[in-house]
Amino acid sequence: MNDFTEAHRISSLLEYTQTYDRSIKDPEKFWSEIADSFTWRKKWSKTLEWNFKDPNVKWFVDGKLNITENLLDRHLEDRGDQVAILWEPNDPNEKGQSITYKELHAKVCQFSNTMIANGVGKGDRVIIYMPMVPEAAVAMMACARIGAVHSVVFAGFSSSALADRINDCEAKMVLTADGNFRGAKTIDVKGLVDEALEKTTSVEKVIVYQRTKTDVKMKEGRDIWWHDAIMNMSDQHDAEEMDSEDLLFILYTSGSTGKPKGVVHTCGGYMIFTYYSFLNVFQYKPRDIYWCTADVGWITGHSYIVYGPLLAGATTIMFEGVPTYPDAGRFWEVCDKHKVNQFYTAPTAIRALQAHGLEPVQKHKLDTITVIGSVGEPINEEAWHWYHEHIGKGKCPLVDTWWQTETGGIMISALAGITPNKPAHASLPLPGIQPIIVDADGNELEGNNVEGNLCIKHPWPSILRTTYGDHERCRQTYFSTYKNMYFTGDGAKRDHDGYLRILGRVDDVINVSGHRMGTAEVENAIDEHPKVVESAVVGFPHDIKGQGIYAFVIAETDGIEEEIRQTVKKMIGPIAKPDHIQLVSGLPKTRSGKIMRRILRKIASKDTDNMGDTSTLLNPEVVEEIIKGAH
Ligand code: WT7
């Protein structure tokens, strides 16, 4: 098998240092050399055009391509019979699937033709609200192939959250399933779609994949079964020619204010960066079996289950289930069963499994694993050591990968076995990435032993281009805090060895089990309850989830905590349900009426010894009352 990736895989620390230096000296030359090895219909005329003021970033200007020709067609000759997607179902007794590159190509072409036959074309937005079945990946790639813009919505979001996303991007089609098997539960996915579509007007067709055989209502003229829709459709399709900067997808993510925003990624740059980062961070070699346990509803699933691995010609596992079903040994059973080489998961999963003790781990060999990875939130040292010792058997490199929905791919991480890893440190930037730490005024803090806010000072190929339908919001959120820099929203420290450690969000975003929630978003959901007067939400340290959600609520009556939880579940989804709700008579406010979250955060974290100066508050007396009633 031709190893076309070899030229791009960094293989020593020295090579990393040299490559990094080269990539910073001349980023355009660096990225254009990598891009050169891809299939382009027409090469770009200019590698990069940018300013962070507007912002305006264009990579591979005027280049023409289709990303699916690079992740499918390109592999047919050399690895057509190699497995592209290995699917592991929720129930270990159900037979999985192995789909080769040739078969995947045929499925994607067939579904491309199906979508076109149902009225979708280049530029149309398509919502994918599906369980973790291979068809979800097929749907994403079929969109990319015909030039439709996919927006995957995590199937755990509520119908109301789904409706918001459909409306924001004015989607023409929804791809979904009858139901979703999650551990011992079956979720009525189609019912949620039906509910959402009552609040939207743009959707013309819904294609429903049959997974759980749940009894569902099919609306005449709008809903079609997937298996009926693909019948008689050709499995050949000429990919649409796309511009480098045409939209590839929109993915909604939470911020500190307002409703979730649609982060936009485009075809050319996203392709190059997800490929390159996948290859180097995980040190993927031909024939390795790679498993990322994320869901395709998150950016991790986009970049490191589907796009990055398939661009690199990898075998990627899609897992439908949950880590604790049928028992806490499931991950490790799957690792042995499929002889997994690279394993990539989230700290919250590690901590949850750690709590079940070593027995479920010791039943399995785990002897094929060579690299383990972590993503989504800071990994605490205890979880790091447990993961490294018991899953990595003390010898596998552990890559702690820092990145964001907005960055499209991994920005700061060790390259497995190449650059050193250090507990709880994301460590060093990938080639082409220029992270800097700044003080409150935006001055760059150079040298080691510095701490401040994390910014990036030069564009990389998969930086977000805009927030869908609202470019000003993109500018405001990421490019206005510090001049000429992308602001990540995270705090970071460069330690005495020069390694970066991510300290967590410095804004009103909380990270619950690796999922981003905006405090304002949760407050708005709580306020939907008719008996709620006002609420304030903060994060607090949580043993398993990393951060939990703590809600302080002023309400007209007592005893509505559970109702509030249900309201939040209905408005956003189960992941946003507060862990603690405290009914209070008032919220600490400044004289100008602003809620003092700093005080609430301290109370929620049980850190009340030093509350700082509360005398300037409008209502200092409520602080004592809240402390008394806290958890
Ligand atoms: C936020 C981005 C990146 C895919 C999953 C989450 C936090 C992410 C790490 C890490 C410390 C991390 C940051 C970031 N985060 N990875 N390795 N160490 N923190 O994507 O939902 O866009 O969230 O997750 O706070 O800003 P996301």
Residue 254 is predicted with a pLDDT of 93
- Ligand 1 atom, smallest distance to 294 CA: 5
More confident residue, 135 or 617: 135
pLDDT digits (tens, 9 = 90+) for 53-77: 999 999 999 999 999 999 999 999 9
Residue owning the nearest CA to atom 14 of ligand 1: 404
Report how far Cα 369 is from the mean position of its chain's Cα atoms.
Answer: 23
Dihedrals phi, psi of 476, to nearest 5 degrees:
-55, -50
Ligand 1 centroid distance, CA of 154 (Å) = 17
Averaged pLDDT score across all residues of the chain: 97
Return the bridge partners of 65, or none. Answer: 242
Cβ 243 vs Cβ 63: under 8 Å: yes
- The answer to whether residue 603 scores a pLDDT higher than 80 is yes
| Cis omega (within 30 of 0) for bond into 326 | yes
Cβ of 546 less than 6 Å from ligand 1:
no
- The answer to whether residue 610 scores a pLDDT higher than 90 is no
Which of 252, 293, 404 is the best mutation target for the ligand 1 pocket, counting ligand atoms within 8 Å of the beta carbon and taking the most?
A: 404
pTM of the model: 0.97
Ligand 1 centroid distance, CA of 328 (Å) = 25
DSSP-derived letter for residue 597 is H
pLDDT digits (tens, 9 = 90+) for 442-476: 999 999 999 999 999 999 999 999 999 999 999 99
Q: What is the rounded average pLDDT of the residues 174-199? A: 98
Q: pLDDT-derived band of residue 256, with 50, 70 and 90 as boundaries?
A: confident
Ligand 1 centroid distance, CA of 376 (Å) = 4
pLDDT digits (tens, 9 = 90+) for 91-136: 999 999 999 999 999 999 999 999 999 999 999 999 999 999 999 9
Cβ of 502 less than 6 Å from ligand 1:
yes
Q: What is the rounded average pLDDT of the residues 554-578? A: 97
Residue 68 is predicted with a pLDDT of 98
Residue 275 is predicted with a pLDDT of 98
Residue 311 is predicted with a pLDDT of 98
**CB burial of residue 188 (10 Å; 0-12, 13-18, 19+):** middle
- The answer to whether residue 243 scores a pLDDT higher than 80 is yes
**Cα gap 574→597, rounded to integer Å:** 24
The domain limits of the chain are 69-240, 509-629
Q: What is the rounded average pLDDT of the residues 177-203? A: 98
pLDDT digits (tens, 9 = 90+) for 394-433: 999 999 999 999 999 999 999 999 999 899 999 999 999 9
Cβ of 295 less than 6 Å from ligand 1:
no
Q: pLDDT-derived band of residue 593, with 50, 70 and 90 as boundaries?
A: confident
pLDDT digits (tens, 9 = 90+) for 132-171: 999 999 999 999 999 999 999 999 999 999 999 999 999 9
- Ligand 1 atom, smallest distance to 403 CA: 3
Residue 284 is predicted with a pLDDT of 98
Cβ 471 vs Cβ 464: under 8 Å: no
Dihedrals phi, psi of 625, to nearest 5 degrees:
-60, -45
**Cα gap 200→167, rounded to integer Å:** 6
Residue 327 is predicted with a pLDDT of 97
Give the percent of the chain with pLDDT over 90: 95
Residue 225 is predicted with a pLDDT of 98
Residue owning the nearest CA to atom 21 of ligand 1: 516
Give the percent of the chain with pLDDT over 70: 100
Ligand 1 centroid distance, CA of 552 (Å) = 26
Q: Order across the sheet with 398-401: list the strands.
A: 97-100, 83-88, 315-319, 289-292, 342-345, 371-375, 398-401
Q: What is the ipTM of this complex?
A: 0.99
- Ligand 1 atom, smallest distance to 299 CA: 4
Cβ of 511 less than 6 Å from ligand 1:
yes
Q: Which residues contact 402 (CB under 8 A, 6 or more apart)?
A: 410, 411, 412, 413, 426, 490, 500, 502
Residue 592 is predicted with a pLDDT of 87
Which of 375, 387, 481, 505 is the best mutation target for the ligand 1 pocket, counting ligand atoms within 8 Å of the beta carbon and taking the most?
A: 375
CATH class (in words) of the domain with range 509-629: alpha beta
Cβ of 404 less than 6 Å from ligand 1:
yes
**Cα gap 338→368, rounded to integer Å:** 9
Cβ 410 vs Cβ 434: under 8 Å: no
- The answer to whether residue 613 scores a pLDDT higher than 90 is no
CATH class (in words) of the domain with range 69-240: alpha beta
Q: What is the rounded average pLDDT of the residues 305-320? A: 98
Q: Which of 343, 346, 274, 324 is nearest to 545 (CA)?
A: 346
Ligand 1 centroid distance, CA of 521 (Å) = 18
